[in-house]
Amino acid sequence: MTDIVAELREAIGAEKVLSSPVDLIAYSFDSTFEQHMPDAVVLPETNEDVVAVVRVASRLEVPIVPRGMSSGLAGGAIPLSGGVVVSLARMKRVLEIDEENMIVTVQAGMVTADLQAEVEKLGLFYPPDPSSNRQSTIGGDIACDAGGPRCLKYGVTGDYVMGLTVVLPDGRVLVTGGKTIKNVVGYDLTSLFVGSEGTLGIITQALLRLVAKPQSVRTALAEFPSLDDASRTVNAILSAGIVPATLELMDKTATACIEQAMHLGLPLDVEAMLIIETDGSDEERVVCEIEAAARICRENGAREVKVARDEAERITLWKARRSVSPSLARKAPNKLGEDITVPRSAIPEAIRRIKAISAKYGLPIVVFGHAGDGNLHPNILFDWRDPKQWEKVQQIVSEVFKVALDLGGTLSGEHGVGTFKLPYMEQALGPTSIDVQRRIKRALDPQNILNPGKVLPDI
Amino acid sequence: MPANESNVESMRPVEEETLHCVRCGLCLAACPGYRESLNETDSPRARIALVRALKEGLLEEPTDGFSNAFFRCLLCGACTFACPSGVAVDRILELTRGELASLDLLPPALADLDARIAQYRNVSTEENEGRLIWADNLPTPPSGLGKERAEIAYFVGCVSSFFPRSYKVPQALVQIFDRAGVDYALLGGAEWCCGYPMFINGELERARDLMQHNVEAVRAMGAKKVVMTCPSCFHFWKHAYPTALGVENLGVEVQHATEFLADLLEAGSLKLRELEETVTYHDPCDLGRKGGVTEAPRRILAQIPGLRLVEMAENRDSSHCCGGGGNLESFAPEMGRAVARNRIRQAADVGAGTLVSACQQCERTLANAARAEKLRMRVKDITEVVLEAME
């Protein structure tokens, strides 16, 4: 593999190429427990760097694995076949904020929360907010079509992508979309790359749609002695015609882990909590909606509903919610976080079945997630060093997916397929869909060098 | 937000500790080093992965590259504080550095630093007897000079004793003490390096003599309190000395100068004039997040009429390192300088005309950064500000 390292150095400069064992370890993992060493790592700073890297890799037929901050939860950024990891973290500039058209042009390595802060200074708003927004990049968000709490009202990352600059596996640069709201000229190639998980091209730049920043926000925390009541309340609120920005559910264990990490005084004796946020430009209406939601919570069994007193309290609450997933490590050395979605009417049933699976196998499954849009994160807690537990985990995953599919849902709402969901792809999509997707992959990447072994089984 | 105490108190073995890292990446967002280099090798998450790789056989043995990854760190503690999984990253760093030092893998610049301390009993190459040169230029000699017994021992610290740029810190403090009639003494050559640089280089054993000597020197003065202006000396004395020396308490109260001054000013024993100024306060990592002192300096500033305090977004426990932490200046100065520039820009962003800190190291690195960034920003130690308000 010295060939590839030497050629990469020649192509983009030695200071942007890493190859020591220590560096390779650093780029061998994502936010799961899987790991595999790459053969080299590159830190490109321009589109031209990325093109040069792809040309070298293509010529030598070496796999390329693009990544941002590697906070993915499905193994998508792990270099499982070795090859070159392309870290886009240094391509993190905002190239233009077009205030009149409300469109931002940004490089792929920009951290999501940094972009949000930047546009909010101008009264603009970039809604997609993966819980990992401080350790996720725009490129990664697009490649995984990331969601987050606010997707209930505002939609997912893909709904904001107006255009992309993509380096194709043969080294050509594809520019899709543009600043126009309407655009039906040819196939929608922008959408093709959204959620492609680095298997079709390397996204280096994006045009993103912004909206006006909501002037008012109210956040409420509702405590439910019964998990079942909490999950039923989700639909009661949405059926009442209220469209909260977020409607999040956390079960008892999730709450306990967060409390241990952040000491917020959260109740430890309730089975579930809902975090409800309403926002908009009309303060009166925002307040009216949160009060209506609070009333519905009480009518459906909430013991108490508290509204955040000020912005500081609201920020703390969201910081807590965003920390739920990693805080689970306080209970067990490993967690497998799933990401199923179901039609929202099926949430109570999905949660009941998941808890039954947990009881059957004797391993804790923590449930939290974006209940309002039907996206749940059942997290199985276990110790990977124990082969018996690992075997159970695999059986649990399979049963949880079955629950999602049986209830009319699917495997992943926002994490993506990576490698973790590969075995279930055919079951979820059927042979025709898999065949069409394989043909697209082969057409764009005939050498199968771009993030091989991800998303689609057996190219 | 309360400090993430469970992290700090963890006593799990290192191997077990690393297993609780779920690699979420939140520490990358908190780490000033990573945020500057944008290279995962410089991240806390990668360092944990390296320890694990060694235990699991993915890496055969620690190398210079491995060692570099562990010493290219400011030890600011932001990762430990940010970690929702409760991983005591600081302990992993500390114990791994210890192991590296014992394997002779301490980077040469840092090994030299420790050798210097062992030889001179301070971080410079000056004779230790010269610790009080800063006192020569004062209008009147400080009353604590040459005093053998006093209520309070002022432990000046190596940097303020030997680097002319930082003389102003002890010069300001002794003038405040003298005007307030505080009964204090200076240790002069009896003060040795506190041992912190050796400790963070993984050589706690070599530091033990220094620690023992310092405690005895302070006790010999009959002092009830030892006061420091250097946050690292303070943090190390307060949190590491008792354990390292195997005693319940040191028999002397350890205070940072800001704690002492806050009480002094609130008691009304000093009259302060108005200072028309918008300031921001930079929390030194060893004083705030790691030392637990965030409010005393703000209490001091609140006592000065006319002074307006604006907070940077990253303040108190979430403070952003000045770039001068962790011996990085001796080992990877370019990274330290870049971190400092990021911090000074944060101060400019909130419209401060003066950045106040309570650490000679923060003052120096941030003042240099202000110059490098061509910002019209004054950078002062809090003792200077108090003295100014007294004049």
Tell me, yes or no, if B350 comes closer than 8 A to chain A by beta carbon. Answer: no
pLDDT of residue B4: 42
Q: What separation in angstroms does the CA of A264 have from each of A75, A78, A318, B221, B321? A: 32, 35, 12, 45, 26
Distance CA A192, CA A437 (A): 10
- C-alpha to C-alpha distance for B234 and B256, rounded to whole angstroms: 6
Please tell me which residue of chain B has the smallest CA distance to A21: B59
Closest by Cβ to B1, choosing from A69, A316, A335: A316
Q: What is the pLDDT of residue A64?
A: 98
Rounded to two decimals, what is the model's pTM? Answer: 0.95
Q: How confident is the model at residue A220 (pLDDT cuts 50, 70, 90)?
A: very high
ipTM value, please give it: 0.95
Which residues of chain A have a CB within 8 Å of the CB of B87? 329
What are the tokens at A304?
A: 């108490």
Over 90: is that where the pLDDT of A283 sits?
A: yes
* Upper half-sphere CA count for residue A256 (Cβ side, 13 Å): 13
B24 contacts in A (CB within 8 Å)?
31, 71, 132, 135, 325-326
What is the rounded distance in angstroms from the CA atom of residue A199 to the CA atom of residue A17? Answer: 22
Angle value at C-alpha A244, between A241 and A245, nearest 5 degrees: 145
pLDDT by residue (tens digit) across B85-144? 999 999 999 999 999 999 999 999 999 999 999 999 999 999 999 999 999 989 999 999
**B165-217: pLDDT as tens digits:** 999 999 999 999 999 999 999 999 999 999 999 999 999 999 999 999 999 99
Helices B168-180 + B382-390 axis angle, to 10: 40
pLDDT digits (tens, 9 = 90+) for B314-340: 999 999 999 999 988 888 999 999 999
User: Which chain A residue shows the shortest CA-CA distance from B18?
Assistant: A333
| B181: region left, alpha or beta (phi > 0 left; psi from -120 to 50 alpha) | left
Q: Tell me which chain A residues have a C-beta less than 8 angstroms from the C-beta of B63.
A: 21-22
The partner residue sitting opposite B22, judged by closest CB among A26, A31, A35, is A31
Phi, psi for B67 (deg, rounded to 5) = -60, -45
Q: For residue range B260-307, list pLDDT tens digits in order.
A: 999 999 999 889 999 999 999 999 999 999 999 999 999 999 999 999
In which region does residue B39 sit, left (phi positive, over 0), alpha (psi from -120 to 50) or beta (all else)?
beta
Alpha-carbon span B210 to B193, nearest angstrom: 7
Which chain B residues have a beta carbon less than 8 Å from that of A43? Answer: 38-39
- Asked whether residue B6 carries a pLDDT value surpassing 50, the answer given is no
Average pLDDT over residues B230-247: 96
Q: What is the pLDDT of residue B1?
A: 31
Q: In the structure encoding, which two tokens stand for residue B305, read together?
A: 């009429």
Q: Among A17, A18, A23, A25, pick the best mutation site for testing chain B contact (most B Cβ within 10 A).
A: A25
Report the Cα A438 to chain-centroid distance in Å.
Answer: 23
Residue contact B23–A30, C-beta within 8 A: yes
The confidence score (pLDDT) of residue B82 equals 95
pLDDT of residue B160: 97
Counts of helices then strands in chain A (DSSP H, E): 15, 18
Paired tokens of A325: 């997933």
Look up residue B287 and give its DSSP letter.
Answer: T
Q: Write the DSSP symbol of residue B57.
A: T
- The size of the A-B interface in CB pairs under 8 A is 122
Query: In whole angstroms, what is the distance from residue B70 CA to residue B79 CA?
Result: 14
Gap from A44 CA to chain B (nearest CA, Å): 11
Share of chain B above pLDDT 70, in %: 97
pLDDT bracket for residue A2 (50, 70, 90):
low
pLDDT band at B237 (very low <50, low <70, confident <90, very high): very high
Record: fold of B271-390 = Rossmann fold (3.40.50)
Residue with more model confidence, B362 or B13: B362
pLDDT of residue B331: 86
Mutate to test the interface with A, among B12, B17, B23 (most CBs of A within 10 A): B23
Q: Is the CB of A326 less than 8 angstroms away from the CB of B22?
A: yes
- Of A73, A93, A55, the closest CA to residue A140 belongs to A73
pLDDT at B391: 82
> Which residues have CB under 8 Å from B277's CB, separation 6+?
B306, B307, B308, B353, B354
Euclidean distance between CA atoms A417 and A141, whole angstroms: 13
Cβ atoms of residues B103 and B30 within 8 Å: no
A1 burial (CB, 10 Å; 0-12 / 13-18 / 19+) is middle
Quick one: pLDDT at residue A4? 96
Handedness of CA A52, A55, A60, A61 (dihedral sign): positive
Q: Which positions in chain A touch B58 (Cβ < 8 Å)?
A: 25, 28, 35, 37
* Helical spans, DSSP H, in A180-262: 189-193, 227-239, 252-262
| Interface contact flag, B29 A134, Cβ < 8 Å | yes
Q: Average pLDDT of A6-25? A: 98
* pLDDT of A347: 95
Dump pLDDT digits (tens) for A325-357. 999 999 998 999 999 999 999 999 999 999 999
Q: What are phi and psi of B39, to 5 degrees?
A: -120, 120
For residue A268, what pLDDT is reported?
95
SS3 content of chain B, % helix, strand, coil (to 5): 55, 10, 40
User: What domains appear along chain A, each with residue ranges and CATH number?
Assistant: 2-87 (3.30.43.10), 94-212 (3.30.465.10), 216-326 (3.30.70.2190), 332-447 (3.30.70.2740)
Which tokens hold the place of B90?
């600081």
CATH of B5-105, one of 3.40.50.920, 1.10.1060.10, 3.10.20.90, 2.60.40.10: 1.10.1060.10
Tokens describing residue B58: 């993915």
Backbone angles phi and psi of B354, in degrees to 5: -135, 135
* B341 sits in which H/E element: helix B333-349
Q: What is the pLDDT of residues A366-393, one digit of tens each?
A: 999 999 999 999 999 999 889 999 999 9
Q: Is the pLDDT of residue B7 over 50?
A: no
Task: Report residue B13's pLDDT band, with 50, 70 and 90 as the boundaries.
Answer: confident
What pLDDT does residue B5 have?
Answer: 42
Q: Does B206 touch chain A (CB under 8 A)?
A: no
CB contact A116 to B (< 8 Å): no
Run of H or E including A273: strand A272-280
Whole-number Cα distances in Å, B224 to B151, B218, B351: 5, 9, 41
Residue A66 parent element (H or E): strand A64-67
- A163-178: per-residue pLDDT in tens? 999 999 999 999 999 9
The CA distance from A36 to B186, in Å, is 57
Kindly state whether B1 is in contact with chain A, defined as any CB-CB distance less than 8 angstroms: yes
B305-318 pLDDT, tens digit each: 999 999 999 999 99
Q: Which two tokens stand for residue A382?
A: 């276990």
What pLDDT does B2 receive? 33
Computed over every residue of chain A, the mean pLDDT equals 96
Q: Give the orientation angle of helix B64-71 with respect to helix B44-56, to 10 degrees.
A: 150
Q: Long-range contacts of range B336-341, CB-CB < 8 Å, 24 or more positions apart? A: B336/B74, B336/B365, B337/B365, B337/B368, B337/B369, B337/B372, B338/B36, B339/B32, B339/B33, B339/B36, B339/B74, B340/B365, B340/B366, B340/B368, B340/B369, B341/B369, B341/B372, B341/B373
Q: Which two tokens stand for residue A404?
A: 């999602």
Across the interface, which of A22, A111, A325 has its CB nearest the CB of B50? A22
Taking CB atoms and an 8 Å cutoff, what residues of chain B touch A33? 22
Give which of A224, A231, A313, A312 is closest to A271, Cα–Cα. Answer: A224
Rounded mean pLDDT, A218-222: 96
Domain range list for chain B: 5-105, 109-262, 271-390
CB of B278 within 8 Å of a chain A CB? The answer is no
State how far the Cα of B361 lies from the Cα of B322, in Å rounded to an integer: 8
Tokens for A7? 């050629």
For B109, the token pair is 């610049």
